[in-house]
Amino acid sequence: MVEVKITDDIKVGGNNPCFIIAEAGQNHQGDIEIAKKLIKAAKEAGASCVKFQKTCLKEKFTKKYLERSYDNPNSWGKTYGDHKRHLEFTESQYRELFKYAQEVGILFTASAMDMVSFDFLVNIKVPFIKIGSGDSNNLLFLKYAASKKVPLIISTGMVDKQAVKTIYDIVSAQHKQFCLLHCISAYPVPFEDCNLTVLQDYKNTFDVPVGYSGQELGTAVALGAIALGAKVLEKHITLDKSMKGTDHVCSLTPAEFKQLVRDVRVIEASLGTPIKKVVTSEIPCIDKLQKSLVMGCTKNKGEILYPGDVKIKVAEPKGLNALHFEEVIYKTLVYDKKEDEPLNEGDFC
């Protein structure tokens, strides 16, 4: 069973608890104080890690793309470049946030949106690096990232299964310290597009931990992902869904995130074993309400028990488990029995 080692104490996959990433992304509005509040909120919500997005704009985008007009209610500038420059923290701000997260006591990382950002994140020694869906077709980058031998969490939005296989082959040729996240890149994702059962296919196909990065509204789908075996879960976190920015609408508030973490842990605890058996906690109910075999009428020693003579009731004291009904009928009573008396082994032959 492949496990991905994030720190000496934290491993992902196998029987380890689901690794829950609070994706602060760019919900900080370009304001480091809001970013710190998001880090704190992620910690208080019980997330395993808080994550931002690191971009070197001229590495990720062409000049022309950065010059294109970005005129919409979520924009922080006239052009896409102005918008992204407003949202991008400097390297020294990243170091400050990393340090703050350490003080708060939560793992900190970012998605590397390009090779320059990847190198920076390796350099500051984040515990793992996320590669977002924007790079799920960027095989050159994935190969480069894999060659650096740091743990990776790779999202697979915007591509099909064939491409995901290629990602798996490229990265696993270098090492198996990576996870693959099923993801649909829409903000928000319509529920009917989530295709959560892809997770089962990923589990059957790939020999690395799989998880889910969800951009749909609410927490129900994310919880479904846990039930389907997600070992990593990523959801956006925001201080306020009505803030300006593309991702706030499909993010969770700190209170919602906290509830999500609690619910994830409940589902994990409840998945248990696929072996159906009677468990200890059922014994009081068995004693109180499970039915057993009793006499349906008064009969004497030597008489035959016909179907109507044996009843199934909640009884005190109990008779044989009612599952044995068929084994009792047409047997001969060894003792006299009154109506409602329990029928036990040894009472018939």
Ligand X SMILES: CC(=O)N[C@H](C=O)[C@@H](O)[C@H](O)[C@H](O)COP(=O)(O)O
Convert residues 92-111 into a mask of x (bound to ligand PEP by CB under 6 A) and - (unbound).
-------------------x
DSSP string spanning 24-77?
EETTTTT-HHHHHHHHHHHHHHT-SEEEEEE--HHHHS-HHHHHSB--STT-SS
Residues 29-68 that bind ligand PEP (CB under 6 A): 53
Q: Which stretch binds ligand PEP (CB under 6 A): 88-96, 129-137, 195-203, 252-260?
A: 129-137
Burial (CB < 10 A; 0-12, 13-18, 19+), residue 224, is middle
Cα 94 vs. chain centroid, distance in angstroms? 27
Q: Tokens in use for 76?
A: 């922080």
155 makes contact with ligand PEP (CB under 6 A): yes
The DSSP string of 298-315 is -B-TT-B--GGGEEEE--
The answer to whether the peptide bond before residue 151 is cis (omega within 30 degrees of 0) is no
Q: CA-to-CA distance for 216 and 234, rounded, in angstroms?
A: 11
- Phi (first) and psi of residue 252, to 5 degrees: -105, 145
Residue showing the smallest CB distance to ligand PEP in the complex: 132
Considering only residues 40 through 69, tell me which ones interact with ligand X, judged by CB under 6 A: 53
134 lies in the site for ligand PEP, by CB under 6 A: yes
Site for ligand X in 66-85 (CB under 6 A): 74
Q: How far is CA 311 from CA 9, 270, 337, in A?
A: 58, 36, 13
* Least distance between ligand PEP and beta carbon 26 (Å): 9
Does 157 bind ligand PEP (CB under 6 A)? Our answer is yes
Closest distance to ligand PEP from the beta carbon of 111 (Å): 3
The rounded distance, in Å, linking the Cα atoms of 252 and 60 is 27
User: Which two tokens mark 180?
Assistant: 């693959």
Instruction: Out of 213, 238, 251, 292, name the contact with ligand PEP by CB under 6 A.
Output: 213
- Give yes or no for residue 134 binding ligand X (CB under 6 A): yes
**Min. distance of Cβ 275 from ligand X in angstroms?**
39
**Site pattern 169..208 for ligand PEP (x: CB under 6 A):** ------------x-x-x-----------------------
User: What span, in angstroms and rounded, lies between the C-alpha atoms of 8 and 309?
Assistant: 66
Q: Which residues bind ligand PEP (CB under 6 A)?
A: 53, 111, 130, 132-134, 155, 157, 181, 183, 185, 213, 215, 234
**Rule CB under 6 A: which residues touch ligand X?**
25-26, 53, 74, 132-134, 185, 187, 246-247
